Amino acid sequence: MADEKNESSGFKVVDRRAFNTEGSRRDEETPKVIKAEPPAPAAIARPQIIEPEALEPSEPDEPSGFETLVSYLSTTTMFQLGLLAGPGGERIPPDMPNANRTIDLLQVLQDKTQGNLTPNEARLLDDVLYELRMTFVELQKRQARKG
């Protein structure tokens, strides 16, 4: 312990990995010790404070957070219904139980935001719910005919 007090206030890192950088197994040698000094106080970068006036105003045409949320949930439902292709263009089979849950989440969102939405937001949510429900019912009918 006396030796440790004589060393600088830096820290040491012990490399105990079983493989070297080339991917081969390390010899059964003692672990490699790397000593490092903490950075000098002047070298530590201080966070930059950004004044609110310096921020660019948001575009008025950008969708609000609510519209983005509705869009995300409706797109997720369309994937779950098998209406959209996967990332590689492959067909995704319908997942009706999860599509139903996501439609239910949109209904919960509508119930909980009742009276707090702009007319455009309320209309968007109504339209999305109507279209997804009709599509869900149509796909259920098709599956029933095939099965």
Element (H, E) at 79: helix 65-80
Q: Give me the pLDDT at residue 57, please.
A: 58
Based on the fold, state whether residues 78 and 120 are members of the same structural domain: yes
Residue 105 lies in a domain: yes
The pLDDT, as a whole number, for residue 25 is 74
Let me know if residue 52 belongs to a domain. no
Residues 34 and 79 in one domain: no
pTM: 0.56
In total, how many domains does the chain have? 2
pLDDT digits (tens, 9 = 90+) for 130-140: 999 999 999 99
Domain that holds residue 25: 2-38
Domain presence at residue 8: yes
Q: Which residues contact 89 (CB under 8 A, 6 or more apart)?
A: none
Short-list 99, 105, 50, CA closest to 77: 99
pLDDT along the chain (147 residues), means of 10: 53 68 68 59 57 59 80 95 88 93 97 95 96 95 88
Q: Are 13 and 36 in contact (CB under 8 A)?
A: yes
Residues 142 and 71 in one domain: yes
Are 81 and 116 within one domain?
Answer: yes
Specify if 54 maps to a domain: no
Same domain for 18 and 85, yes or no, is no
DSSP summary character for residue 24: S
Are 73 and 118 in the same domain? yes
Contact 98, 80 (CB under 8 A): yes
Question: Are 120 and 75 part of one and the same domain?
Answer: yes
